[in-house]
Amino acid sequence: MAVKDKKEERIDARLTAEAKQQIDHAAALQGRSTSDFMVQAALKEASLVIEQQRIIRLTVEESIALAQLMTSKPKINEASVAAMRRHKRIIGS
């Protein structure tokens, strides 16, 4: 029999009586404890926040501009010439 993760951490929150009643009611409707309901709701929200920070969303116009930049021939300037010289000096080709 596998041992479940031991729940050792705790979070305390203060909320209004109305908020507590609403959370208790929602948990009861799902047949879950208030604690389980709150943990699952918090984890769901945490996943959404993390996803929003990891994914870059572009408008259609921004996507087109990015694609054009990525497919166009790069412009040669002093910095790019210096970088290529350093690369050739270090790598040798």
Domain ranges for the chain: 17-91
pLDDT at 2 over 70: no
State the average pLDDT over residues 22-32. 97
**Secondary structure (H, E, C), the chain:** CCCCCCCCCCCCCCCCHHHHHHHHHHHHHCCCCHHHHHHHHHHHHHHHHHHHHHCCCCCHHHHHHHHHHHHCCCCCCHHHHHHHHHHHHHHCC
Q: 75 falls in which pLDDT band (50, 70, 90)?
A: confident
The pLDDT value recorded for residue 74 is 83
pLDDT at 18 over 90: yes
Buried-state track 17-48, b at ≥16 Cβ within 10 A, e below 16: eeeeeebeeebeeeeeeeeebbeeeeeeeeee
pTM over 0.75, yes/no: no
Q: Is 1 in contact with 8 (CB distance < 8 Å)?
A: no
State the average pLDDT over residues 54-64. 94
The pLDDT value recorded for residue 62 is 96
